[in-house]
Chains A and B, each alone.
Chain A
Amino acid sequence: MGNFGQLMDGFVVALTVHHVMIMVIGVLLGLVVGVLPGLGAPNGVSLLLPLTFTMDPIAAIILLTSMYWGALFGGSTTSILFNIPGEPSSVATTFDGHPMAKRGEAVRALTLAFGSAGFGAMVGVVVITLLSGWVANFALQFGSPEYFAVYFMAFASFIGMAGGSPFKTLVCIMLGLAVGTVGMDTISGEGRLTFGITQLTNGISFLIVVIGLFGIGELLLTIDEGYKFDGVKAKLSLRVILRTLAELPRYWVTLLRSALIGCWMGITPGGPTAASFMSYALGRRFSRRGKYFGKGEPEGIVAPETADHSAGSCALLPMLALGVPGSATAAVMMGGLMIWGLSPGPMLFTTRPDFVWGLIASMYLGNVIAVVLVLATVPIFAWILRAPFTVVGPLIAIVCLIGAYTVSNHMFDIWVALAFGLVGYVFKKLDYPLAPFVLAVVLGDKAEDAFRQSMLSSGGSLSVFFEGSLVATMMGIGILLLSLPLLQIIFAALFRRGDSTDAGQTSRP
């Protein structure tokens, strides 16, 4: 329990008026940055970085991590209110969060998201506290085959997801993989699928795809199907917030499962985005109300949010212990560490325990502050939805286009976003699922790199994926997840026949 003593020392460092003030400022700045898509946490943190040069490293990292938490929360806000994910990892929150807000329950949706996010983050921090010594060595066991196995599990959990046609899911994954391929290839150093268009050599940014598919796509759909926004009915009373918080413990199974998935994906190289998708997919599969997912189901908000935030917290650990950042934001913060004169790596825990444990203690406090502050903003955000669509609609369009432009300051990106808006509209109309498409865009390129690196180092032998116990276990779980729908059909056929009539009923939309 040496960790506990060190954590207490950490609290002594973090719990000064100066540091708590910094946390509040950081969280507020993060919220603002997170709410604007395209600006996002990585850009926000790098904008703030110069300010920290004159601060001492502990205060500086507290400011940056608090901003990171704030941005993560802010990203969920726009996902729920406008169907525009402010952060890649909050894409999965749109699936149920936005339908719920549309139904007039924006306050409930936001509170559910923030409450479960806070829970997820706490679990993540506790895991870091308990396992800090062990994680560094564990993460070192990940070679390219293991990386591939982690991505394979994420894909498998989606193909095996209940509901929807497996054929359509497969088509979406393939299209997503094709989009992810565009640009410079890591392994060969050649451009692919660029068609001689200069702007495409840099690849298509994931954020632009998401802004188009979700933000603009949803806007087109709303115009097409007539405006049915029930935001006006939203009750803004404090009682709704409290009642929703009291409702949270009911979803304890989902909370725990999602937190575990999040921690796992945060420690391994999967990252928060993959974690939230996987958690959503598994939530849909294992929840009793899985068939209602996508229509504004509370568990559909709880699952991705919990996983997103526990992964976000856990991802800081490999960064400190190995010097390999788990996300773009973590990469910027790591650059900061080096400028302040600290080298992330296995020795950081022994050379600067005050820094490491001060940071971990600040994660406890920062998250509590973030949850309180963002719950306080819920009425303000819900109030925005009360405005008529003639006001909100153009506002969303402006936010989307500015967001697309600010990703890398290219006019071309705006056209790409608009094109993906059309794609999103067509997909929705034809009932093709967007989630597998997005997942493939995010992970396709990484999975491909990991696969080809494994092949290069094994000399082309596929057995490399089943040689070590770690990689074999993960591939095994992946294959199991993949065949789950098949197994379920077989079991249903073998055992109770009564179940099959029930299944027939549920498969109707």
Chain B
Amino acid sequence: MQITSLRKSVLTASALAVGLTGATAALAEWKPNRPVELVVSAGPGGGSDIFTRVVQAALTKNKLVETPLIVVNKPGGSGSEAFNYAEDNVGSPYKVYFGTQDAYVLPLGTKVNYAMKDLTPVASMVFDVFILWSNPKASGINTAQEFVAKAKENPGKVRVAGAKAKDADETVVTLVERAAGIDLAYIPYKSGSEAAIQVAGGHIEANTNNPSESLEQWKAGNQKPLCVFTSARLTDKTVVADGMSWADIPTCVEAGIDVKDFVQPRTVWMAADVPPEAVAYYTDLMKKAMDTPEFKDYTTRNVQITKFMAGDELKAFLAEQTKNYEKIYADNNWLLPASQ
């Protein structure tokens, strides 16, 4: 009896010891030992997809990871499919989720099958800016002032294209409507590039878009930037087209549309209940990815604002953002009845 209990306690003690050393070792150097899925909350070819694949390329090319990284697209339900997937895979350190503000904005307006408690924030890496574009040839709109004037003359008739309904593009359009006191016709398309082509082809007057999605059409003379939704002008001074650089685009506030800082964070998440050492590992990994030449190329090409946030800073940012969006959604009457 005594012997067995003694043996038992020895066993537990040794098990404890093994467990402890194992835990400290893991905290110091947790590393994935099998392929890691990078889950994208968007379809192939979209902004989030390219962001994820750039991270994948940067990490693989510079040998910052030893296991393969696999990009998985989960675009269903405006991207909620990806975060549902996180709910399905609680605690899995082999799945990292890439999104935008969608992770915390989606639950406000639509019935989704995850809650914010199902996600662990890892990092916010860059901000995509939004620009209001027009087709100067087909619509005759060359400046933001002309855009507002035309919308005032034809209430509800000036069409603005964007990606998806009740997403970033439609949000910024409603902000513009309220700030300038105008009424626009928002037309949702499946993706930002589809919307840009509609404007470039002269079928729609204007669109809101990330710079990269309309860049080529600007060079070709089919689109023109009217104003940028940031508090300060962009910094890139290399001339793009018509002798204009990104820095020459006025901010929307300068142009008389009082929408200050509407930017889109590129965020990285994990599922709930993942080991903290895994979160630390991926936070560090994302930071390393940002220092690679591939990632720097990407941010320059897409005219993004680079700002790495993690830990408490990220949590504070997310809380503030969620509050802002709650206000916008309440103003637009987009909130889910239950959460009102």
- Please list the residues of chain A having a beta carbon within 8 angstroms of any beta carbon in chain B: 42, 46-47, 49-50, 53-54, 139-144, 183-191, 198, 201-203, 322-325, 328, 331-332, 334-336, 338-339, 341, 343-348, 408, 449, 453, 456-457, 459
- Report if B68 contacts A (CB, 8 A): yes
- Partner of A347 from the list B159, B187, B219 (CB cut-off 8 Å) is B219
- Report if B181 contacts A (CB, 8 A): no
Which residues of the partner chain B approach A46 to less than 8 Å between Cβ atoms?
44, 71, 73
Residue interface bits B76-100, CB-to-A below 8 A is 1, else 0: 1110110010000000000000000
Residue of B nearest to A346 (CB): B220
- Partner of A198 from the list B113, B167, B297 (CB cut-off 8 Å) is B113
Q: By the criterion CB–CB under 8 Å, are B164 and A189 in contact?
A: yes
Q: How far is the CB of B259 from chain A (nearest CB, A)?
A: 21
Q: By the criterion CB–CB under 8 Å, are A201 and B77 in contact?
A: yes
Docked pose: A121 CA to B164 CA in angstroms: 34
Q: How far is the CB of B93 from chain A (nearest CB, A)?
A: 17
Which residues of the partner chain B approach A408 to less than 8 Å between Cβ atoms?
74, 76, 81
23 A–B pairs (Cβ distance < 8 Å), ordered by A: A49-B71, A140-B222, A143-B204, A186-B164, A186-B190, A187-B165, A189-B78, A189-B109, A189-B110, A189-B165, A201-B80, A201-B81, A203-B76, A325-B44, A328-B44, A331-B44, A332-B45, A344-B216, A345-B216, A345-B219, A347-B216, A453-B189, A456-B185
Q: By the criterion CB–CB under 8 Å, are B189 and A334 in contact?
A: no
Which residues of the partner chain B approach A332 to less than 8 Å between Cβ atoms?
44-45
Docked pose: A143 CA to B194 CA in angstroms: 10
User: Given contacts A50-B69, A187-B165, A346-B216, is CB(A341)–CB(B76) below 8 Å?
Assistant: no
Which residues of the partner chain B approach A42 to less than 8 Å between Cβ atoms?
44
Q: By the criterion CB–CB under 8 Å, are B189 and A335 in contact?
A: no
Docked pose: A299 CA to B159 CA in angstroms: 47
Which residues of the partner chain B approach A140 to less than 8 Å between Cβ atoms?
197, 200-202, 222
Which residues of the partner chain A approach B217 to less than 8 Å between Cβ atoms?
345-346
- Partner of B57 from the list A53, A189, A328 (CB cut-off 8 Å) is A53
Q: By the criterion CB–CB under 8 Å, are A343 and B201 in contact?
A: no
- Report if B280 contacts A (CB, 8 A): no
Which residues of the partner chain B approach A338 to less than 8 Å between Cβ atoms?
50
Q: By the criterion CB–CB under 8 Å, are A191 and B185 in contact?
A: no
Which residues of the partner chain B approach A184 to less than 8 Å between Cβ atoms?
76-78, 110
User: Given contacts A140-B200, A189-B167, A335-B44, is CB(A47)–CB(B70) below 8 Å?
Assistant: yes
Q: By the criterion CB–CB under 8 Å, are A339 and B201 in contact?
A: no
Docked pose: A186 CA to B75 CA in angstroms: 12
Q: By the criterion CB–CB under 8 Å, are B49 and A183 in contact?
A: no
Docked pose: A256 CA to B301 CA in angstroms: 43
Q: How far is the CB of B280 from chain A (nearest CB, A)?
A: 24
Docked pose: A205 CA to B61 CA in angstroms: 33
- Report if B32 contacts A (CB, 8 A): no
Q: By the criterion CB–CB under 8 Å, are B193 and A202 in contact?
A: no
Which residues of the partner chain A approach B167 to less than 8 Å between Cβ atoms?
189
- Partner of A187 from the list B61, B77, B159, B188 (CB cut-off 8 Å) is B188
Residue of A nearest to B213 (CB): A323
Which residues of the partner chain A approach B45 to less than 8 Å between Cβ atoms?
325, 331-332, 334-335
- Partner of B190 from the list A142, A323, A449 (CB cut-off 8 Å) is A449
Docked pose: A348 CA to B194 CA in angstroms: 18
Which residues of the partner chain A approach B165 to less than 8 Å between Cβ atoms?
185-189
- Report if B178 contacts A (CB, 8 A): no
Residue of A nearest to B49 (CB): A335
Residue of B nearest to A411 (CB): B88
- Partner of B220 from the list A189, A201, A347 (CB cut-off 8 Å) is A347
User: Given contacts A343-B212, A343-B216, is CB(A457)–CB(B76) below 8 Å?
Assistant: no
Q: How far is the CB of A46 from chain B (nearest CB, A)?
A: 6
Q: How far is the CB of A280 from chain B (nearest CB, A)?
A: 27
Docked pose: A202 CA to B57 CA in angstroms: 28
User: Given contacts A184-B77, A189-B167, A456-B185, is CB(A50)–CB(B68) below 8 Å?
Assistant: yes
Q: By the criterion CB–CB under 8 Å, are B76 and A54 in contact?
A: no
- Report if B215 contacts A (CB, 8 A): yes
Docked pose: A185 CA to B190 CA in angstroms: 10
Q: By the criterion CB–CB under 8 Å, are B203 and A191 in contact?
A: no
Which residues of the partner chain B approach A335 to less than 8 Å between Cβ atoms?
44-45, 49-50, 53
Which of A189, A202, A346 counts the most chain B CB atoms within 10 A? A189
Residue of B nearest to A336 (CB): B53
Docked pose: A54 CA to B69 CA in angstroms: 15
* Beta-carbon contacts under 8 Å, B288-312 to A: 294, 297, 301
Q: How far is the CB of A318 from chain B (nearest CB, A)?
A: 9
Residue interface bits B55-74, CB-to-A below 8 A is 1, else 0: 01100110000001111011
Docked pose: A190 CA to B167 CA in angstroms: 12
Q: By the criterion CB–CB under 8 Å, are A49 and B164 in contact?
A: no
User: Given contacts A54-B61, A324-B193, A331-B44, is CB(A142)–CB(B201) below 8 Å?
Assistant: yes
User: Given contacts A189-B166, A335-B53, A347-B219, is CB(A53)–CB(B187) below 8 Å?
Assistant: no
* Beta-carbon contacts under 8 Å, B18-72 to A: 43-45, 49-50, 53-54, 56-57, 60-61, 68-71
Residue interface bits B173-214, CB-to-A below 8 A is 1, else 0: 000000000000101111001100110111110000000110
* Beta-carbon contacts under 8 Å, B98-125 to A: 109-113
What are the nearest 4 A-B pairs in CB distance? Answer: A345-B216, A202-B76, A143-B203, A189-B165
Which residues of the partner chain A approach B189 to less than 8 Å between Cβ atoms?
186, 449, 453
Which residues of the partner chain B approach A198 to less than 8 Å between Cβ atoms?
84, 113
Which residues of the partner chain A approach B323 to less than 8 Å between Cβ atoms?
none
User: Given contacts A189-B167, A331-B44, A341-B297, is CB(A144)–CB(B203) below 8 Å?
Assistant: yes
Q: By the criterion CB–CB under 8 Å, are A50 and B80 in contact?
A: no
Q: How far is the CB of B217 from chain A (nearest CB, A)?
A: 7
Which residues of the partner chain B approach A348 to less than 8 Å between Cβ atoms?
216
Q: How far is the CB of B246 from chain A (nearest CB, A)?
A: 15
Q: How far is the CB of A80 from chain B (nearest CB, A)?
A: 28
Docked pose: A198 CA to B81 CA in angstroms: 10
Which residues of the partner chain B approach A344 to less than 8 Å between Cβ atoms?
216
Which residues of the partner chain A approach B111 to less than 8 Å between Cβ atoms?
191, 201
Docked pose: A46 CA to B219 CA in angstroms: 29
- Report if B7 contacts A (CB, 8 A): no
- Report if B327 contacts A (CB, 8 A): no
User: Given contacts A49-B71, A457-B204, is CB(A183)–CB(B220) below 8 Å?
Assistant: no
Extra A-B contacts (9), CB below 8 Å, given A50-B56, A190-B110, A343-B212: A143-B204, A144-B187, A185-B165, A189-B165, A201-B80, A201-B113, A335-B45, A335-B49, A346-B217
- Report if B8 contacts A (CB, 8 A): no
Q: How far is the CB of B235 from chain A (nearest CB, A)?
A: 20
Q: How far is the CB of A166 from chain B (nearest CB, A)?
A: 32
Which residues of the partner chain B approach A339 to less than 8 Å between Cβ atoms?
50, 53-54, 57, 294
Which residues of the partner chain B approach A191 to less than 8 Å between Cβ atoms?
77, 110-111
Residue of B nearest to A348 (CB): B216
Residue of B nearest to A351 (CB): B219
Q: How far is the CB of B306 from chain A (nearest CB, A)?
A: 18
Docked pose: A453 CA to B165 CA in angstroms: 12
Residue of B nearest to A190 (CB): B110
Q: By the criterion CB–CB under 8 Å, are B44 and A183 in contact?
A: no
* Beta-carbon contacts under 8 Å, B201-246 to A: 201-204, 212-213, 215-217, 219-220, 222
